[in-house]
C-alpha cells in the first residue's frame, strides 16, 4: 500500500500546482437565475420533491440530482447549474463524489468474504493485521469495525478549518499511516460498549480485505460489485484529485485570500484521507441500481445481509442516544417507518442512498452543497429526505 501511493505522489503534486484555484466573489452566494427542476417525460412529478430542489443555485447548494424509485412510483429530477461561471443547467448524468456512501460498498465486500469463509466477523482486527494493530486494541473485531463500536479514535490530519483543509487538499494519505496515527492514542471506550461513527474502522476494514484476498481493495470492489452490477460510472479516484468524466462543479463557502467570505470551486480535491471509508465517485443512476440490488439481496445474501439491518444495542458515544449505525448503513424513522441508507459528504458534494427495508421507496441524491461538511444537514438534502419519506 505504501508503495502504491508514494509512486504517484509527485504526479499529484504537479497537478495541484498547475490546477490553480477558482474563486468566486461573495456576491456569488446570492442565488443566480434558477434552473427549473425537471422530471423524466411520462412520469408523474412529486410536488414535494420538485419543491425541495426548486430555486437552485441558492446559498446552500448550486445543483441537485435526484432519483426516486420503488413500488410507490418513480421520479427523476435535476436543478441548478453545472457551474456558476457559465450558468448552464446541471447535468443529470454527472459524476460526483459520494463520500461515505463508500462504506456501504466496503461493508458489502467484507460480508461477501465472510459468506465465503475467508473473513470472520468475530475474529479480531489484530489477528489479521498483527503488525499494525497494537495490543491496546486486541478486542476490536471485524464486526465492531463495521458497526463503529471499535473505540479507535480518528487519526490526526493537518489543520482544523476548511481553509487549512483546502491548503492541504493535494496531500496523499497512506491508509497504514492513518491507522498508526489513530491506534497510537488511547481507546475512546472499551470495544463493543459504545458507538462512535468515524472513518477509521473502514480504513482498517479495507486493509483487512487486502490482507485476506492478497489483492487491492479497489479491485475487489470492482470485481465483486461494480462489474457484476454494470456500474460503469462508479470508480475509485486513487490519488487523482480530479473527477474524471462529466461532473457538475462543487463549491465551498470559505474565507478567500482577500479576507472576504465567498465561494471557492473545490471540484479538484484529493480524497485519499477517505479511501475505503469515503472516496468513491458515482452517479445517481449507478447508486440507484446498487441500492436496489443491495436491498433485494443480490449483493450480500442470506443471514449476512441482516448484519446491515441490525443495530448494536449500545448508545452513541457523544449523544447517549441509541446506536443508529449498522454494518454499512444507518437507520432513521421518517414518516413513521424505518428508512435505511447512508449519506456522504466531501467538500462541495453531499450524496445519499436510502430505502425502506422492503424496497417500496428508494431515494438517491447528489447535492452540490456549499456547506457539505457543516455540523447540520444541508437544507436542500434534508428537504429531499422529508419530501421522499416524511418528517422524523
Least confident span in 9-13, 42-46, 318-322: 9-13
Confidence of residue 23 (pLDDT cuts 50, 70, 90): low
What is the structure's pLDDT at 1?
39
The pLDDT score that the predictor gives to residue 109 is 98
* pLDDT of the residue at 22: 52
Handedness of CA 95, 100, 101, 102 (dihedral sign): positive
Angle, helices 102-115 vs 200-213, to 10°: value is 40
Q: Which residue has the cell 454527472?
A: 94
Q: What is the mean pLDDT of residues 270-288?
A: 98
CA 319, CA 392: separation in Å to the nearest integer? 17
| Residue 107 confidence (pLDDT) above 50 | yes
Q: Does residue 213 have a pLDDT over 90?
A: yes
Q: pLDDT digits over 137-187, tens only?
A: 999 999 999 999 999 999 999 989 999 999 999 999 999 999 999 999 999
Check residue 178 and give its pLDDT: 98
Reply yes or no on whether the pLDDT at 39 is more than 50. Answer: no
Cβ contact 113:120 at 8 Å: no
Summarised one tens digit per residue, pLDDT across range 224-237 is: 999 999 999 999 99
Q: Inform me whether the pLDDT recorded for 271 exceeds 60.
A: yes
Q: How many domains does the chain divide into? A: 1
Backbone angles phi, psi at 247, to 5 degrees: -155, 145
Interval 331-365: pLDDT, tens: 999 999 999 999 999 999 999 999 999 999 999 99
Are 195 and 325 contacting, i.e. CB atoms less than 8 angstroms apart? yes
251-267 per-position pLDDT tens digit: 999 999 999 999 999 99
pLDDT band at 217 (very low <50, low <70, confident <90, very high): very high
pTM score, two decimals? 0.90
Q: Mean pLDDT for the chain?
A: 90
Close Cβ partners of 88 (under 8 Å, ≥ 6 residues apart): 81, 82
Range of the domain at 96: 2-389
pLDDT (mean) for 94-100: 98
Q: What is the mean pLDDT of residues 45-74?
A: 94
pLDDT of residue 35: 42
Q: Which residue has the higher pLDDT, 14 or 89?
A: 89
Q: In terms of Cα–Cα distance, which of 326, 280, 274 is closest to 111?
A: 326
Average pLDDT score over residue span 40-51:
66
pLDDT beyond 80 at 16: no
Is pLDDT at 390 greater than 80 in this prediction? yes
SS (H, E, C) the chain: CHHHHHHHHHHHHHHHHHHCCEEECHHHHCCCCCCCCECCCCCCCCHHHHHHCCCCCCCCEEEEEEEEECCCCCEEEEEEECCCCCCCECCCCCEEEEECCHHHHHHHHHHHHHHCCCCCCCCEHHHHCCCCCCHHHCCCEHHHHHCCCCCCCCCCCCCCCHHHHHHCCCCCCCHHHHHHHHHCCCCCCCCCCEECCCCHHHHHHHHHHHHHHCCCHHHHHHHHHHHHHCCCCCECCCCCCCCCCCECCCEEEEECCCCCEEEEECCCCCCCCCHHHCCEEECHHHHHHHHHHHHCCCCCCHHHHHHHHCCCCCEECCCCCECCECCCCEEEEECCEEEEEEEEEECCEEEEEEEECCCCCEEEEEEEECCCCCCCCCHHHHHHHHHHHCCC
**Does residue 57 have a cis bond before it (omega within 30 degrees)?**
yes
Neighbours of 366 (CB within 10 A): 32
Residue % of the chain over a pLDDT of 90: 86
Pairing of strands 261-265, 251-255: antiparallel
* Cell numbers describing residue 266: 473545490
What CATH number is given to the structural domain containing 235? 3.40.710.10
Amino acid at each position: 500500500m505504501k508503495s502504491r501511493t508514494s509512486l504517484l505522489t509527485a504526479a499529484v503534486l504537479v497537478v495541484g500546482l498547475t490546477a490553480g484555484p477558482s474563486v468566486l466573489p461573495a456576491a456569488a452566494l446570492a442565488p443566480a437565475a434558477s434552473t427549473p427542476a425537471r422530471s423524466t417525460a411520462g412520469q408523474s412529478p412529486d410536488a414535494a420533491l420538485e419543491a425541495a430542489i426548486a430555486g437552485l443555485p441558492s446559498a446552500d447548494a448550486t445543483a441537485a440530482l435526484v432519483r426516486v424509485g420503488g413500488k410507490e412510483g418513480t421520479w427523476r429530477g435535476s436543478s441548478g447549474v453545472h457551474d456558476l461561471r457559465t450558468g448552464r443547467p446541471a447535468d443529470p448524468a454527472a459524476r460526483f463524489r459520494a463520500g461515505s456512501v463508500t462504506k456501504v460498498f466496503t461493508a458489502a465486500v467484507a460480508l461477501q468474504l465472510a459468506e465465503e469463509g475467508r473473513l470472520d466477523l468475530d475474529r479480531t482486527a489484530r489477528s489479521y493485521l498483527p503488525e499494525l494493530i497494537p495490543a491496546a486494541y486486541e478486542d476490536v473485531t471485524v464486526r465492531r469495525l463495521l458497526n463503529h463500536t471499535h473505540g479507535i479514535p480518528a487519526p490526526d490530519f493537518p489543520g482544523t478549518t476548511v481553509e487549512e483543509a483546502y491548503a492541504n487538499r493535494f496531500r496523499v494519505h497512506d491508509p497504514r499511516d492513518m491507522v498508526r496515527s489513530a491506534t497510537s492514542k488511547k481507546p475512546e471506550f472499551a470495544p463493543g460498549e459504545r458507538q462512535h461513527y468515524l472513518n477509521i474502522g473502514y480504513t482498517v476494514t479495507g486493509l483487512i480485505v487486502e490482507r485476506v484476498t492478497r489483492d487491492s481493495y479497489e479491485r475487489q470492489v470492482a470485481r465483486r460489485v461494480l462489474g457484476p452490477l454494470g456500474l460503469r460510472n462508479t470508480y475509485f479516484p486513487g490519488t487523482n484529485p480530479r473527477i474524471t468524466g462529466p461532473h457538475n462543479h462543487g463549491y465551498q463557502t470559505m474565507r478567500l485570500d482577500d479576507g472576504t467570505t465567498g465561494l471557492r470551486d473545490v471540484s479538484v480535491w484529493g480524497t485519499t484521507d477517505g479511501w475505503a471509508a469515503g472516496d468513491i465517485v458515482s452517479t445517481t443512476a449507478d447508486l440507484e441500481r446498487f441500492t436496489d440490488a443491495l436491498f433485494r439481496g443480490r449483493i450480500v445474501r442470506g443471514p449476512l445481509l441482516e448484519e446491515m439491518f441490525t443495530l448494536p444495542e449500545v448508545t452513541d458515544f457523544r449523544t447517549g442516544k441509541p446506536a443508529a449505525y449498522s454494518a454499512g448503513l444507518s437507520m432513521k424513522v421518517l414518516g413513521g417507518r424505518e428508512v435505511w441508507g447512508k449519506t456522504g459528504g466531501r467538500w462541495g458534494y453531499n450524496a445519499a442512498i436510502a430505502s425502506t427495508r422492503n424496497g417500496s421507496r428508494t431515494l438517491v441524491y447528489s447535492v452540490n452543497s456549499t456547506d457539505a461538511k457543516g455540523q447540520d444537514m444541508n437544507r436542500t438534502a434534508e428537504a429531499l429526505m422529508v419530501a421522499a419519506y416524511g418528517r422524523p
